[in-house]
Amino acid sequence: MQRQKLLVNGERLKQELERFADFGRTDNNGVTRLALSHEDRLARDHFRACCEELGLSVKIDDMGCMYATLEGTENVPPIVIGSHIDSVKKGGRFDGILGVVAGLEIVRTLIENNVKPRIPITIVNITNEEGARFEPSMMASGVLSGKFAKEVMIKKTDTEGITFEEALKNIGYDGDSDNRLTDATAFLELHIEQGPVLEQEKLSVGVVECVLGMVCYDIEVNGLSNHAGTTPMPMRKDALFVATDLLAEAREKLSVLDDKLVYTMGRMNVSPNIHTVIPNKVVFSLEARHQDEKVIEEVEDIIQSLTRSEAITEGCSVKATKLWGRDTVWFDQSVVEQVEEATKSLGYSYKRMVSGAGHDAQFLQSYIPSAMVFVPSQNGQSHCEEEYTTWEECERGVNVLLETVMGMLAKV
Amino acid sequence: MQRQKLLVNGERLKQELERFADFGRTDNNGVTRLALSHEDRLARDHFRACCEELGLSVKIDDMGCMYATLEGTENVPPIVIGSHIDSVKKGGRFDGILGVVAGLEIVRTLIENNVKPRIPITIVNITNEEGARFEPSMMASGVLSGKFAKEVMIKKTDTEGITFEEALKNIGYDGDSDNRLTDATAFLELHIEQGPVLEQEKLSVGVVECVLGMVCYDIEVNGLSNHAGTTPMPMRKDALFVATDLLAEAREKLSVLDDKLVYTMGRMNVSPNIHTVIPNKVVFSLEARHQDEKVIEEVEDIIQSLTRSEAITEGCSVKATKLWGRDTVWFDQSVVEQVEEATKSLGYSYKRMVSGAGHDAQFLQSYIPSAMVFVPSQNGQSHCEEEYTTWEECERGVNVLLETVMGMLAKV
């Protein structure tokens, strides 16, 4: 027998997203809501008020994560739905908050349809996903999953020297470690894609299979500074000439490695960076992401080969330093399948895809069966005021989550 | 009949150079003596005391330039010898000051040899050649020669908001515009080469024929920022990829233009310069110097061609903005010949050469017959604490100036 499908209220979803955007809305209709800031506090207060109005119990853990639970009829670990309330500076109205508001909208829909869930439903706001004020990103999920040491994290400071610990106390969200998320039936995170793939392929939903593994290196070239006007070309040891040759060589080698590989030289610093002085030092970052460990290994071989390149002219030297790397995180196959089934049953266009960006779900997956759902980002843009996902696509994404939850509730 | 040659006192010259290096000497035996700083004032006071001890009259003009004159037996415009006392931050012990101390040593030698010159000899310290504290460089010589407006220059501020005018008053060197250098028989500036040519060719002296003409452009590439992890390679509008392609294209075209051309991309700024974000904007400087106007024109054609390059991928745009340019300044042929004759007669190895760097002499040449003498820079380095010229080479350079002066005095 087929269940009757519940659908969320798209208008209410939109209004709630816009309500949250008021906490830190910028002149250009973006959002600045740094972790543990005044704006974050106001948004948290609003989230708590919404949950309490729905009769949920709200708990706070020692990293400031918020858990609002709709009780279930059975004493089993909850289905957890959520994401993060914090944003980057001049970010958008969707990144993170969409996943939290999705949880609210799902619980609202369940309650108004008088569904008494078998499994408890917990909406979660995970503190400081962005790492924009306190590095690193995914801080609280890192602590919850044991990847980061709490004692180290709470001492992290913002640019004004305020520690995470102080800021958490200042906004009144320093809770109890007993409240931490320790067990769950599943974790579901709805998020904007932050890339152009769904839009380009005219698809509504991305069923995310994994978060890509990556490596990030600094390539440092050292040469010798001299006067730009007085040093004949053959006598130069120009670090920028070597660096740009190496960058081109890396691009050439990486471009033929694998179609799905992405690689970026996002940062380049030239010293002394004066138009009349030959550069003596250039450092540029090279990061690459791919789901297959072997491809990442080949990338690292290419990076090492740069240090022996023929482009390194006499008097210049090159070193490559690995800043970090992470393995691909595969989401729980069963949960991913349930998400895919829900998407299909709703008749939405979709594809299985990878996440190039990092998300809290990748840490939580280490101890909770997790999956993610993506909705399209206009022009692939995020972390900027222009960030936009149509209200219809937001609504479809939340419906996928609701339908996934309904499927889980229906199982015995 | 051949004149008997006078030679300067090398030991005294060395001691005086080291004495001046005490005013702002750094831990690594360099010098920080920014224009109109406390260190500059102390060095000026010492210079004045030295001159007064020799019986010279010292005058100060309204830009703070100092003129110390040994009277001549005839009422004719003086032979002016000098350079600048100011240095860059963490500069060397030779740049500028060598040309001023040369003047002192020449007058000392004349006096101790009882030479009463026919033509007055004026030692000059020209204010703020470096432009390290108050931009632009060659400020005072620019005002003296009418290239720069005094009213604009004296309002220039340092990083602390102090104006040139205030700083000049603060050190007590605000003199009278009546004292400006308005006429001279010749201006002779001894300077370190600031390049590697003399050292590489094992020559003692450079007889400088001209200061190279140059152009400086900013090349700006605009693309689109997006997330480094989520944007497939074919969908990117990476400003850094285009910028480095254009830089390579410029290098290739410029490298075959002319052997004597020098070109430098000394400054490159990447935005937003974050390793996880595809760059949306890159600006780099491209400056080139050559004595021949036609070659500089070809350089400008190449720079313009970059804005139409095939390397500009879809969604990226490029513009080239000329920041400034200057024509080659040829020194006075007769004075250059007299310097060459003096060098030959002393038996020093030398070559005629160009100056890639700018110097006060290039402005003064517009109304005073001028020439410059270079001495070798170890490893071509300058504007750094390692800057070094052997004492012997310094001595030879001053001897060339003295012999040039003696030749001028001998003429009728």
Which tens digits make up the pLDDT trace of A84-140?
Answer: 999 999 999 999 999 999 999 999 999 999 999 999 999 999 999 999 999 999 999
| pLDDT score for A2 | 63
Number of A/B CB contacts below 8 angstroms equals 187
Mean pLDDT, rounded, for B3-15: 93
Instruction: Please answer yes or no on whether A357 and B229 come within 8 Å at the CB atom.
Output: yes
Give the whole-angstrom CA distance, residue A190 versus residue A218: 33
Tokens of A253: 């080698």
Task: Please report, rounded to a whole number, the percentage of residues in chain B having pLDDT higher than 70.
Answer: 99
> How far is B235 from chain A, CA to nearest CA, in Å?
8
B285 and A CB contact within 8 Å: yes
What ipTM does this complex have? Answer: 0.89
Give the whole-angstrom CA distance, residue B315 versus residue B302: 22
Instruction: Please answer yes or no on whether B231 and A381 come within 8 Å at the CB atom.
Output: no
Asked if pLDDT for residue B30 goes beyond 80, the answer is yes
Q: Which residues are CB-contacts of A229 (< 8 A; sequence separation ≥ 6)?
A: A276, B194, B195, B212, B214, B262, B289, B355, B356, B357, B358
Instruction: Please answer yes or no on whether B228 and A255 come within 8 Å at the CB atom.
Output: no
Q: Over chain A, what is the mean pLDDT?
A: 97
Mean pLDDT, rounded, for B302-330: 96
Residue type for B119, please?
Answer: I
| pLDDT score for B411 | 83
Domains in chain B, ordered, with CATH? 10-211+328-410 (3.40.630.10), 213-326 (3.30.70.360)
Mean pLDDT, rounded, for B70-88: 97
Q: Over chain B, what is the mean pLDDT?
A: 97
Q: Give the H or E element holding residue A289.
A: strand A281-290
| pLDDT score for B2 | 62
Tokens of A37: 């800031």
CB distance A99 to A81 below 8 Å: yes
Give the whole-angstrom CA distance, residue A234 versus residue B262: 10
Mean pLDDT, rounded, for A16-32: 97
Q: Which residues are CB-contacts of A150 (< 8 A; sequence separation ≥ 6)?
A: A62, A63, A143
B76 and A CB contact within 8 Å: no
Pairing outcome for strands A79-83 and A121-125: parallel
Residue type for A404, please?
Answer: T
**β-sheet bridge partners, residue B68:** B58, B123
Instruction: Please answer yes or no on whether A230 and B357 come within 8 Å at the CB atom.
Output: yes
Mean pLDDT, rounded, for A381-396: 96
A4 and B CB contact within 8 Å: no
Instruction: Please answer yes or no on whether B230 and A273 come within 8 Å at the CB atom.
Output: no
Instruction: Please answer yes or no on whether B266 and A278 come within 8 Å at the CB atom.
Output: yes
Residue-by-residue DSSP string for A215-277: EEEEEEEE-B--BTTTS-GGG-B-HHHHHHHHHHHHHHHHHTT-TT-EEE---EEEES--TTB
Asked if pLDDT for residue B4 goes beyond 90, the answer is no
Give the whole-angstrom CA distance, residue A31 versus residue A88: 8
Mean pLDDT, rounded, for A396-411: 96
A177 and B CB contact within 8 Å: no
CA A389 to chain centre: 16
The residue to which tokens 């670990």 are assigned: A77
Instruction: Please answer yes or no on whether B382 and A227 come within 8 Å at the CB atom.
Output: yes
Residues of A in contact with B245 (CB under 8 A): 248
Mean pLDDT, rounded, for A308-313: 96
State pLDDT tens for residues B274-307. 999 999 999 999 999 999 999 999 999 999 999 9
Q: Which of B214, B233, B238 sits opposite A229 (nearest CB)?
A: B214
On the 0-12 / 13-18 / 19+ scale of CB atoms within 10 A, B27 is exposed
Tokens of A96: 């993170």
Q: Which residues are CB-contacts of B284 (< 8 A; sequence separation ≥ 6)?
A: B218, B219, B243, B247, B265, B267, B268, B269
Instruction: Please answer yes or no on whether B380 and A227 come within 8 Å at the CB atom.
Output: yes
Measured in residues, chain B has a length of 412
| pLDDT score for A279 | 96
Q: Give the H or E element holding residue B346.
A: helix B333-346
B381 and A CB contact within 8 Å: yes
Instruction: Please answer yes or no on whether B275 and A268 come within 8 Å at the CB atom.
Output: no
How would residue A4 be classed by pLDDT, with cut points 50, 70 and 90? confident
| pLDDT score for B412 | 64
Give the whole-angstrom CA distance, residue A73 versus residue B39: 82
Q: Which of B193, B235, B323 sits opposite A230 (nearest CB)?
A: B193
Q: Give the H or E element holding residue B330.
A: strand B329-330
State pLDDT tens for residues B154-193. 999 999 999 999 999 999 999 999 999 999 999 999 999 9
Asked if pLDDT for residue B410 goes beyond 70, the answer is yes
State pLDDT tens for residues A189-235. 999 999 999 999 999 999 999 999 999 999 999 999 999 999 999 99
> How far is A259 from chain B, CA to nearest CA, in Å?
8
Q: Which residue of B has its CA nearest to A195?
A: B230
Residues of A in contact with B255 (CB under 8 A): 233
In our burial notation (b when 16+ CB lie closer than 10 A, e otherwise), range B104-130 reads bbbbbbbeeeebebebbbbbbbbbbbb
